[in-house]
Amino acid sequence: MLESIWFVLWGVLWAVYFMLDGFDLGLGALMPVLAKSEDDKRVIYGAMGPFWDGNEVWLLTAGGVTFAAFPGTYAVMFSSLYSALMLLLFALILRGVAFEFRGKVDSPVWRALWDGCLWVGSFAPALLLGVAFANIFKGIPIDGQGVYQGTLLTLLNPYGLLGGVFFVLLFAQHGALWLAIKASGELEQRAGAMARRLWPVLLVVAVVFLAATWMATNLYANYLAQPVLWILPLLAVAALLATRAIMAKGSWGRAWIASAVTIVACTLFGVVGLYPAMLPSSLDAAFSRTIHNSASSPLTLKIMLGVALVMVPVVIAYQLWSYLRFSHKLTPEEMAREPHY
């Protein structure tokens, strides 16, 4: 029972991370297209600046839960996906440094350097996370000892790359909607128009990804066994359609919420489909890392659950405060007075 509870919490933590940091990653990836001037760039930085580091807390929490609750899965994951995870880490470091260093020197060349780092540090994580999770859904070649029988190129299979493209588009639309909320004037309109243009492309890729998931993975087995679970993919589809309908009315805040529901439902669709596996093996199902053969002791899980019940609400309260505190729209004039970016 404890293993199942922590599996659900593990999935929810990933879903919350994708929902929150997804708009940062998507907006950073879109900045070269959306920003037409230095003022636009400063507004885009300001739209992400107060939130990005808090959003990444959920990534650390998801990784920490994997390590503490399912150490067997953590060990195999970080050895099997070592190269991809290191690339992800370096990209996230680049992004963090870009926020801190961009405004240190008043030089167009200097700022352009860190703008490039922000783009790499946003696009690459979105792509890599999609590739990694698609390969987990598909199953990775791990043997009975948990040793990865492949290379980095093994992960770059058609289904893995399709997952990467799906994540990039999902986050890009999410980021464009966030900018439409935070920006004003022409930049707001440009961000809204970008979100509208991305939606049909995202819809096509989502349909292709769902079809490919049926053929390349075993995710649908749990849904066929328990039809009530179909509420998750149906919720994802409904939220995606609602996003477009709300965008047509220019209600960016409500559209962003619908986009957030889409991301959460898509993530939970994959997690529920995996259960009870966490790292399926493509070589033999008996080699898979599951909640049963990779979990910590019951005492450890009980103590962790107590800590989580106390600390997670604190983190949520802080983040709610920060989002309310910085909920106002940004203008070029305001950002011109902000020396940090």
The pLDDT of residue 117 is 95
As a whole number, the mean pLDDT across the chain is 92
Tokens for 296?
């910590």
Tell me the Ramachandran region of residue 217: left when phi exceeds 0, alpha when psi lies from -120 to 50, beta otherwise.
beta
Residue 148 pLDDT > 90? no
Instruction: Give strand pairing partners of 148.
Output: 142
The pLDDT of residue 198 is 97
Q: Do residues 137 and 221 make contact, with C-beta atoms less than 8 angstroms apart? A: no
In the chain, domain spans: 2-336
| Pairwise CA distance, residues 116 & 135, whole Å | 28
| Pairwise CA distance, residues 180 & 43, whole Å | 11
The pLDDT of residue 78 is 85
Q: How many residues are listed for the chain in this entry?
A: 341
| Pairwise CA distance, residues 20 & 178, whole Å | 10
Q: Do residues 330 and 183 make contact, with C-beta atoms less than 8 angstroms apart? A: yes
| Pairwise CA distance, residues 263 & 323, whole Å | 19
Tokens 């879109």 locate to: 30
| Pairwise CA distance, residues 176 & 193, whole Å | 9
Is the pTM value of this prediction over 0.85? yes
Residue 95 is which amino acid?
Answer: R
Give the pairing of strands 289-290 and 277-279: antiparallel
Tokens 């009870």 locate to: 276
Residue 153 pLDDT > 90? no
Tell me the Ramachandran region of residue 334: left when phi exceeds 0, alpha when psi lies from -120 to 50, beta otherwise.
alpha
Q: Do residues 158 and 131 make contact, with C-beta atoms less than 8 angstroms apart? A: no
Angle at 112 between CA 163 and CA 198, to 5 degrees: 35
Residues 29-56: tens digit of each pLDDT: 999 999 999 889 999 999 998 898 889 9
Q: DSSP state, 278?
A: E
Tokens 């067997």 locate to: 72
Residues 220-256: tens digit of each pLDDT: 999 999 999 999 999 999 999 999 999 999 899 999 9
Give the N- to C-terminal CA distance of the chain in Å, as an integer: 48
